[in-house]
Amino acid sequence: MEKSEEEVDIEQISFGAESFAENPEPRCPCLLLLDTSASMSGDPINELNSGLTAFKEELATDSLAMKRVEVAIITFGPVEVKKTFHAASEFTPPHLSTTGNTPMGQAILEGIDLVGERKGEYRSNGIAFYRPWIFMITDGSPTDAWQSAAAAIKEGEKSKAFAFFAVGVKGADMETLGKISVREPLKLQGLKFRELFLWLSNSMKSVSRSVPGEVLALPPPSGWAEL
Amino acid sequence: MKTLLDDAGLPVRLGSTLGSGGEGRVYTVASVGGDSNTADLAAKIYHSPVSPDRRKKLQCMVSGQSDPLQKLTAWPISTLSDQNGSVCGFLMHKAAEAFPVHHIYSPAQRKREHPEVNWDFLVNTARNTAAAFHAIHAHGHVIGDVNPNLVFVSRDSRVRLIDCDSFQIFGKGKYFLCEVGVPHFTPPELQEKSSFSNIIRQANHDNFGLAVLIFHLLLMGRHPFAGVYTGSGDLVLEKAILDFRYAYGRNARQKQTKPPPNSVEPSILSQTIRLYFEQAFSAAGAEPDGRPTAQDWVSELDAFRTQLRACDDNPNHHFFASLPHCPWCFQEQHLDISYFIPLISDHNGGSFNLIRVWARIEAVPPPKSVNEFTYPPFSITPAALPPEAQFQKIMGVLTKVMAAFLAFGSLITLNPMFILTAIAASAGLLAHRTDTNKERRKREHRLNAARKAFSTLHAQWKREVGDGRFEEKLRELERIKADLEALSRQYAREKDLLQSHSNHMDPRDLDRLKQNFAQKQQQLQNDLLAGPDQLKNIIQASQAQRRSLSTSLEKAALNVAQAEADMTVL
């Protein structure tokens, strides 16, 4: 149990405003895959941006979730990592604008890689974590090959490596989304991004303090999804 | 708000919402029976109608209340009923100005929000938490749902347990069960239960959660089972608990787990505390009454807190006196992690708080980016050449044509007349050059002067109107902060030097050194305290400068453009 000076671990802790040593709470990673293709321009992207702000504000009401939830954002297309994983306390919502097409397949695969990398950092730093969530929001249909992404999602869900959720905004190709996501994709009512992100925030709060054995009781998505 | 009645039939008026959870909402209490002296009370009102079982549980808790329970928990004082006489909630004591225990066991949040909290405070809090657990167990109750939000800590390290209506209550010969629990604080023997709705919890179960909470408090927010797993695949925390893989335990290696890199280990604690952790997290602990009890923890932590001492170099470092070195200095020097930040007593009322002062400095918004000066649109007509230069210019063209003609002529004819005329024409060409050159030099000079004037003004603009001076000041404040942070270490070094160089050290030398450092510290602190105002002044000055400079700068830019245009006609 004694640790002499010679044995000091030389493993480096990753630099960030808060190191794992300063915040060793178990992490609850949440990756947002956000469609910023041209068809999202105008009201949809504005509502999405204000939804992100609401997400942060809602998380901020829970000091435990602030230490545990980590948010990352990938936008498509083109596929771009907007935010790597950081504690919610350090998450500042980006201002997204629209560009390009919808390379959904590539975005999903990069997202799965990003989650895998973060899990590696948790493991080597002795940080416990909850099952990561990958939460995709799109209003179109993939403009690239999505079949390998769908296979990766099936594999990840099966091995409980992550949970993948897909939300379609008006115009989304719900049929293809259903083939990509193992969980039934949900359709957003109008532009209720704010309600969607409040729900996401509350779900992350419950994930970060779940009760054993119980199937996680998420709040019903009735406030924003067409059911 | 509808009127509620307490057990004595007095009307209870609710105030503002304190918090809302899955089961109900907690309010402040405006008055009870017209008496508004109710600042220490709160009321929980359930969202949905109260079941008969819950009503009986609440009534049982109210009738079983005692002084220790009232002091150490938010125990129901009285049930609250609506107009129909149905129980819809209860009254309780409120934890005034208290915060959840995870706010101080998490190093980052503690340093940010409670920088005055040192390790001795955390040891005290651990002791008080154990005492509150003991009070519950002594009454025959069990907490059940031990979690990071259970314990509320006040500024003097006293604690109060909340969410008492979820506790397992023993009364009137029966158990009212606790049906919830958080996996990370659930003992191994209950990890695989699919539900808590039929399980009678034991104090020994709570004692697992208590040991986990104490571990978090004493060892910088780490979970005892969150280690680095050296086996293959993922090991979730629940499974690590189930398998007794205590990451810091003596059997950790066999269990393929090791402490996280750069963690603070139980070796900084007393032998007994280390044994208690081993016991609480081992298979033997999972046997009936196998773990150290809350009372065991109270007595051991009571003994332990008298064996702490403050570090000579950093008085805010408290540690177990039997250790050869200060573990917090070790962390700072070798791993660059400062768990406790200095709050040296000083002339600023003893309350200088570097983190807060620095936060105030960082809160000053930098000036809007105005580094680039935007030019107004110019319309420029090049200045006409003076008449003689204009005449010369025309003459110049003529002489050039003539000279060429004459030169050509003299070459083919070799007629002396031609040659003489050619020489005269060349002289005329030269004369023309002298005149134009004079004008060109004049205009070049003007252009250079205009450019120089502009660049001087532009540099001034960048410095005084852009973020130049703001940035300069910020860098200076950063240097001051670094100096201040290094000061206590520097003091320790010089003190060592003083002591090692003189066998008979004059205590007055030490006093002088101390005084010298106190003065330096005072100066640096004052410099930092003045920081936010200085930054704001810079922004204000830059706004004023901007107005006056932009007129001059516009004029200077116009001069440059004019001078450049004037060159084109030559």
pLDDT tens for A16-61 read 345 899 999 999 899 999 999 888 888 888 888 888 888 888 888 8
- pLDDT for the residue A1: 37
Task: Give the DSSP letter of residue B331.
Answer: I
Q: How far apart are CA B406 and CA B426, in angstroms?
A: 10
Cβ–Cβ contact B325 with A under 8 A: no
CA B423 to chain centre: 87
CB B27 within 8 A of CB B17: yes
Q: Could you list the beta-strand ranges (E) of B380-452.
A: none
**Mean pLDDT of the region A155-182:** 90
CA dist A215 and B450 (Å) reads 77
The C-alpha angle with vertex A174 and arms to A169 and A176, in degrees rounded to 5, equals: 130
Supply B242's token pair: 């189930």
Q: How far apart are CA B304 and CA B122, in angstroms?
A: 12
Q: Closest to B183 (Cβ–Cβ): which among A9, A67, A212?
A: A212
* Three-state SS at A77: coil
CA A210 – CA A163 distance, rounded (Å): 15
* Catalytic site includes residue B145: yes
Question: B102 and B148 in contact (C-beta within 8 Å)?
Answer: yes
Q: In this structure, which amino acid lies at residue B177? A: L
Length of chain B equals 570
Local structure of B393: helix, strand or coil: helix
Dist. CA B120–CA B200, nearest whole Å: 36
Q: Give the span between the Cα atoms of B184 and B205, in whole angstroms.
A: 13
Q: Is B103 on the interface with A (CB under 8 A)?
A: yes
> What single letter denotes the amino acid at residue A134?
I
The pLDDT value recorded for residue B222 is 97
**HSE-up of A155 (CA within 13 Å, CB side)?**
9
Position with higher pLDDT, A16 vs A127: A127
Q: What is the pLDDT of residue B6?
A: 93
- Do the Cβ atoms of B307 and B270 come closer than 8 Å? yes
Distance CA A60, CA A93 (A): 13
For residue A2, name the pLDDT band (cuts at 50, 70, 90): very low
Residue of A25, A69, A86, A115 best to disrupt the B interface, most CBs of B under 10 A = A25
What amino acid is encoded at B246 in this protein? Y
Q: Which residues contact B311 (CB under 8 A, 6 or more apart)?
A: B317, B318, B319, B326, B328, B329
- CA dist A203 and B334 (Å) reads 40
User: Which residues of chain B does A9 touch, with a Cβ-Cβ cutoff of 8 Å?
Assistant: 261-262
Which domains can be identified in chain A, with CATH numbers? Answer: 25-208 (3.40.50.410)
For B503, left (φ over 0), alpha (ψ -120 to 50), or beta? alpha
**Nearest by CB to B195, which of A2, A210, A213?**
A213
Are the C-beta atoms of residues B306 and B120 closer than 8 Å to each other? no
Closest chain B residue to A89 measured between Cα atoms?
B109
Cβ contacts of A64 on chain B, cutoff 8 Å: 100, 102, 148-149
B529, burial (CB in 10 Å: exposed 0-12, middle 13-18, buried 19+): middle
Burial B92-131 (b: 16+ CB within 10 A, else e): bbbbeebbbbbbbbbbbbbbbeebebbbbbbbbbbbbbbb
**Tens-level pLDDT at each residue, chain B (570 residues):** 567 999 999 999 999 998 887 788 999 999 999 898 888 999 999 998 999 999 999 999 999 999 999 999 999 999 999 988 899 999 999 877 889 999 999 998 898 788 889 999 999 999 999 999 999 999 999 999 999 999 999 988 899 999 999 999 999 889 999 988 888 999 999 998 888 888 999 999 999 999 999 999 999 999 999 999 998 888 889 999 999 999 999 999 999 999 999 899 999 999 999 999 999 999 999 999 999 999 999 999 999 999 999 988 888 899 999 999 999 999 988 888 889 876 544 445 556 777 778 878 877 777 765 556 666 667 777 887 777 767 766 766 776 776 666 666 666 666 666 667 666 666 666 666 667 788 888 888 988 998 898 888 888 877 777 677 888 888 899 899 888 877 777 777 787 777 776 666 677 887 788 788 888 888 888 888 888 888 888 888 877 777 778 888 888 888 888 888 888 877
From the list B6, B53, B82, B145, the catalytic residue is: B145
CA distance, residue A140 to nearest chain B CA (Å): 35
Q: Which of A72, A60, A63, A64 is nearest to A29 (CA)?
A: A72
Q: Is residue B225 within 8 Å of residue B193, measured between CB atoms?
A: no
Q: Which residue is it, tokens 């729900």?
A: A199
Question: Which residue of B lies nearest to A64 if distances are taken between CA atoms?
Answer: B102
Q: What is the pLDDT of residue B559?
A: 87
Residue B335 has what DSSP assignment? I
B266, burial (CB in 10 Å: exposed 0-12, middle 13-18, buried 19+): buried
Q: What is the predicted pLDDT for the residue at B53? A: 93
Among the partner residues A3, A13, A126, nearest to B227 by beta-carbon distance: A126
- In this structure, is the dihedral angle defined by the CA atoms of residues B119, B125, B127 and B130, taken in order, positive or negative? negative
Split at pLDDT 50, 70, 90, the class of A70 is very high
pLDDT at res. A216:
57
What's the average model confidence in pLDDT over A62-79?
A: 88
Q: Cβ contacts (< 8 Å) between A214 and chain B: which residues? A: 195
Residue among A3, A88, A112, A195 nearest B109 (CA): A88
| Top-confidence residue, B489 or A85 | A85
What pLDDT, on a 0 to 100 scale, did the predictor assign at position B163? Answer: 92
pLDDT of residue B287: 96
Q: Where are the beta strands (DSSP E) in chain A?
A: 28-35, 69-76, 80-87, 133-138, 163-168, 186-188, 225-226
- Pairing, β B87-93 against β B151-153: unpaired
B132 close to B143: Cβ distance less than 8 angstroms: no
Distance CA B79, CA B87 (A): 7
Strands A163-168 and A133-138: parallel
B274 touches chain A (CB under 8 A): yes
A152 to chain B, minimum CA–CA distance in Å?
Answer: 18
Bridge partners (DSSP) of residue B187 are none
Dist. CA B121–CA B104, nearest whole Å: 10
